[in-house]
Amino acid sequence: MEPNTLLDAILDESGISHAGLAARINQLGRCRGLALRYEHTAVARWLKGQRPRGQVPDLICEILGERLHRPVGLDDIGLSGPGDRRSADTPLSGFVERATALWRSDEQQRPHILDAPALTGTSAVIPVWEWENPPEDSDVSRDGLTRVGMADIEMLRAARTHYETMYRKAGGIATRARIVGFLNAEAAPLLRGSYSDATGRQLHRATGGLVAVAGICAYDSDSLGLAQRYFHQALRLAKASGDRGLGAYVIALLVNQSLFVREYRQAVAFAEAALRAAGPQITPALAADLYAMQAKSYARLGDGASALSCIRRAEAAAERIRPGQEPAETGYVQPGLVNVQVAEALLSLGDLRAAREQADAAVDTPAHDRGRVHRLAMLTHIELRQGDADRAVADAAQMTEQARGMESQRLRDRLRAVREHLARTGSSATDEAADLIDEVLRVPL
């Protein structure tokens, strides 16, 4: 079930509590000859995505319309039909309302949003399929109260850079509330504003970049279902912008999450869709990352030949990277990133020597703080597998110090994995390194 953020938003606007809505439904139902006995728990279920039965959706519209002094329809409360509506059937204006409703629910820490499970199966694939296939948006212009200009779009672009930098330094947990607050305060009014088709495409592109970072922060906070919904929103915004390269970048984020949840076949398929659909708009940096993640997926599936083929493609694409010719979003593909991705694939294939060479090359290349933690974690893991405990202890200590102060569940996952491997080694030196990691992990997020 998809959380009903539209109902949540309009209910909050009306000032009616969950218990208050249930009581009003029961009362209005009695006037219509219906014996209804709803309580606040029923409203909570509807907000989680369950559809009210019978005439109840129409009763909700009538109650909210009277309270807000305006017509309220089923579309306005997210109950236009049984089940979820496909995004392809939703006009862009309707998508904007649904997207901004989710941002608002996230900012208000609504449990039905924060705890929403990740979509699986067909529901997880449809947004990627819809991005890749027609119809395209022929006109994204809009008439609103506020005129949107290039200064507004530049502000959104600068904000994306700012929050991405904050995420890399402080982690997604510390950054998430700030970027979601910005989306609600600044981006939402602009999307509802007035703009031409040309300006609108740039607006949707800039907003899509911001929403993607919000998804990254949600993923880093361990809210995987919410992260996936942000990525799906960013994909829809990318389609509205007409920028296939941005869409491919967003799919790379979905590929990374698929790898984390061990959906390896889905990761391969998504990466293939991005490479295929973006075509000439895909940059060498993004191609290198997609091929490297495919290599990791194939290695996990036990397909060594395909993994090695993707490694060669990733390395070839990495050699073509020209930083000045890359968009801001692919700045995460820094020198050494492909090396550490390839090292992980080779480790899965059991080639420790080659994996060590790649991991050493990654660590020897400068990286931002977050990237350096991941690289040192991978190198430490390989060194322990090779029995080089002394080097592993030194690298684990460096990794732990680098991670200190970062608020990130994904980095904690890395630290825990290294700590478990150190503990299994069972020497006094590795025990001391494990204690250092425990010290960092004891700090609450």
Q: Which DSSP category does 223 fall into?
A: -
CA–CA dist 55, 392 (Å, integer): 65
Q: What's the pLDDT score for residue 75? A: 87
Task: Region of 104 please: left (phi>0), alpha (psi -120 to 50) or beta.
Answer: alpha
Q: What's the pLDDT score for residue 99? A: 94
- Of 85, 117, 139, the residue that ends a domain is 85
Same domain for 403 and 437? yes
Give percent above pLDDT 70 in the chain. Answer: 98
Same domain for 79 and 108? no
CA–CA dist 20, 16 (Å, integer): 6
Number of structural domains in the chain: 2
Cβ 427 vs Cβ 389: under 8 Å: yes
261 within a domain of the structure (yes/no): yes
Q: What's the pLDDT score for residue 307? A: 98
Q: What's the pLDDT score for residue 81? A: 63
Same domain for 155 and 78? no
Instruction: With CA atoms as reference, report the closest residue to 242 among 280, 289, 206, 205.
Output: 205
Q: Is 334 helix (H, G, I), strand (E, B) or coil?
A: coil
423 within a domain of the structure (yes/no): yes
Same domain for 151 and 195? yes
Confidence of residue 150 (pLDDT cuts 50, 70, 90): very high
Q: What's the pLDDT score for residue 33? A: 87
Residues 324-383 have pLDDT tens digits of 899 999 999 999 999 999 999 999 999 999 999 999 999 999 999 999 999 999 999 999
Residues 272-314 have pLDDT tens digits of 999 999 998 999 999 999 999 999 999 999 999 999 999 999 9
Averaged pLDDT score across all residues of the chain: 93
Same domain for 356 and 209? yes
Same domain for 52 and 125? no
Q: Residue 172 carries which side chain, given as an amino acid letter?
A: G
Confidence of residue 201 (pLDDT cuts 50, 70, 90): very high
Place of tokens 């006995």: 37
228 within a domain of the structure (yes/no): yes
Per-residue pLDDT at 252 exceeds 70: yes
- Of 85, 116, 138, the residue that ends a domain is 85
14 within a domain of the structure (yes/no): yes
Give percent above pLDDT 90 in the chain. Answer: 82
336 within a domain of the structure (yes/no): no
Per-residue pLDDT at 90 exceeds 80: no
State the residue range of the domain holding 22: 5-85
Instruction: With CA atoms as reference, report the closest residue to 394 among 363, 365, 353.
Output: 363
278 within a domain of the structure (yes/no): no
Residues 93-143 have pLDDT tens digits of 889 999 999 999 999 998 888 888 999 999 999 999 999 999 999 999 999
Same domain for 240 and 199? yes
**Backbone φ, ψ for residue 194 (5° rounding):** -115, 130
Same domain for 261 and 356? yes
CA angle 136, 120, 116 (to 5 degrees): 100
389 within a domain of the structure (yes/no): yes
CA–CA dist 330, 45 (Å, integer): 40
CA–CA dist 179, 185 (Å, integer): 10
39 within a domain of the structure (yes/no): yes
Same domain for 74 and 120? no
Same domain for 20 and 164? no
Mean pLDDT, to the nearest integer, of 205-212? 98
Q: What is the DSSP string of 232-299?
A: HHHHHHHHHHT-HHHHHHHHHHHHHHHHHTT-HHHHHHHHHHHHHHHGGGS-HHHHHHHHHHHHHHHH
Per-residue pLDDT at 89 exceeds 60: no
Same domain for 138 and 248? yes
Residues 258-273 have pLDDT tens digits of 999 999 999 999 999 9
Which pTM does this prediction carry?
Answer: 0.88
- Of 54, 85, 116, the residue that ends a domain is 85
Residues 75-88 have pLDDT tens digits of 889 887 644 444 44
Same domain for 66 and 189? no
Residues 44-77 have pLDDT tens digits of 999 998 999 888 999 999 999 899 888 888 888 9
